[in-house]
């Protein structure tokens, strides 16, 4: 299964997603700072992939210091590394989840322990997070596929890239699409190009092409008209953070897709692992929304599109209110309204977070 992240023998490599689909170049991250910059600059992107990369970043750093020194002497640097990674991108909670998992894994280690032993703990935890994300995506795919029992093949719209490139592999929204395709339940995928960063045009259509999954690329604003013509059966998207009431932050434009689906009576599903659910916040109003550079709107591939004096606003994510969501497809189950109650009881039932 393709993964955008390779961690082997203390070496971290990422496929440079800024260059896809035309060039497949793997970049090596040699320091923690390289990892942080790779996340900020979108070499790696997508909520679960960012979390896994940050975890491997922590593993990379601890394996680079004197292994015979004590945990006490490294501890301060470890917390600085966590803080540096946490400052990279604010919206996807998977980043904070992964770092917290590692913090918890080292929490009870005594100061006199050798760094060598702590390195093992950190590396194991990072590897477990990666392996578990891969398994989780496959489980999300299976849960999503179970939702469709009729013989009619589905035409599914997706936004952004919630595929193998955005996770440890396989994908969340694209995991559901892959599972539907394997089960013979998919007619085709409509791929939103996803302005302004074009994750749909550059990454999702590339992944679907690799897997021979029928698809057509559209501009984001074409979706409503395709819905009105009866050409879309489902919308399936990923998520960066889901609040306790089900409000969901995802790539800018997701909210418009949800409103359009609601108006046309089309099912709108969010596919996401439990690591994307943030029960510490009650609603989407508390989700921090990343603002990205204006140049992502005013320029394309270094070429200016708008007049140089133009001011642009570039929120990278929006929040879809839960009332527009038909279901949240997790690895355990499909959560439905009332989302606040269903999320709380699914959490207790599945012993999550």
Give contact residues for ligand MRU (rule: CB under 6 A).
Answer: 45-48, 92, 160, 162, 166-167, 172, 199, 238-240, 250-251, 316
For ligand MRU, the closer of residues 43 and 166 by Cβ is: 166
Active-site annotation, residues: 240
Q: How far is the CB of 287 from ligand MRU (least distance, A)?
A: 12
Q: How far is the CB of 311 from ligand MRU (least distance, A)?
A: 21
For ligand MRU, the closer of residues 119 and 158 by Cβ is: 158
Q: How far is the CB of 80 from ligand MRU (least distance, A)?
A: 24
- Both tokens of 228, joined, read 């009105």
For ligand MRU, the closer of residues 119 and 204 by Cβ is: 204
Q: How far is the CB of 239 from ligand MRU (least distance, A)?
A: 6
Residue of 53, 48, 46, 61 whose CA lies nearest to 5: 53
Residue environment code for 85-123, b if the CB has 16+ CB neighbours within 10 A, otherwise e: beebbbbbbbbbbbbebbeebbeeeeeeeebeebbebbb
Residue nearest to ligand MRU (CB): 238
For ligand MRU, the closer of residues 172 and 326 by Cβ is: 172
Distance separating alpha carbons of residues 2 and 131, to the nearest angstrom: 13
Q: How far is the CB of 256 from ligand MRU (least distance, A)?
A: 14
For ligand MRU, the closer of residues 122 and 166 by Cβ is: 166
């Amino acid at each position: 299964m393709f993964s955008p992240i390779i961690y082997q023998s203390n070496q971290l490599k990422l496929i440079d997603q800024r260059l896809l689909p035309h060039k497949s170049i793997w970049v090596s991250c040699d320091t923690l700072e390289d990892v942080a910059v790779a996340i900020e600059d979108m070499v790696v992107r997508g909520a679960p992939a960012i979390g896994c990369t940050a975890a491997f970043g922590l593993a990379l750093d601890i394996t680079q210091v004197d292994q015979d020194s004590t945990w006490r002497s490294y501890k301060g640097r470890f917390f600085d590394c966590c803080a540096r990674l946490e400052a990279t991108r604010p919206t996807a909670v998977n980043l904070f989840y992964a770092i917290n998992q590692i913090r918890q894994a080292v929490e009870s280690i005594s100061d006199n322990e050798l760094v060598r032993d702590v390195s093992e703990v950190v590396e194991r935890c990072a590897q477990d997070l990666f392996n578990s994300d891969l398994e989780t995506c496959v489980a999300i795919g299976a849960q999503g596929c179970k939702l469709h029992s009729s013989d009619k093949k589905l035409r599914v719209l997706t936004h952004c890239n919630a595929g193998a490139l955005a996770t440890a592999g396989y994908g969340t929204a694209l995991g559901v699409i892959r599972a539907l395709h394997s089960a013979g339940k998919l007619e085709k995928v409509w791929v939103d190009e996803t302005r302004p960063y074009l994750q749909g045009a550059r990454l999702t259509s590339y992944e679907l092409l690799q897997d021979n999954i029928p698809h057509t690329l559209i501009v984001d604003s074409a979706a409503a008209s395709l819905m009105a013509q009866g050409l879309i059966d489902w919308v399936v998207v990923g998520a960066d953070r889901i609040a306790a009431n089900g409000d969901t932050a995802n790539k800018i434009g997701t909210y418009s897709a949800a409103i359009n689906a609601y108006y046309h009576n089309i099912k709108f599903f969010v596919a996401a692992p439990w690591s994307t659910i943030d029960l510490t916040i009650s609603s989407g109003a508390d989700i921090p929304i990343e603002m990205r550079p204006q140049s992502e709107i005013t320029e394309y591939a270094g070429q200016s599109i708008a007049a140089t004096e133009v001011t642009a606003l570039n929120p990278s994510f929006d929040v879809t209110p839960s009332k527009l969501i038909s279901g949240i497809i997790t690895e355990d189950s499909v959560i439905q309204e009332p989302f606040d109650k269903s999320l709380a009881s699914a959490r207790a039932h599945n012993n999550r977070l």
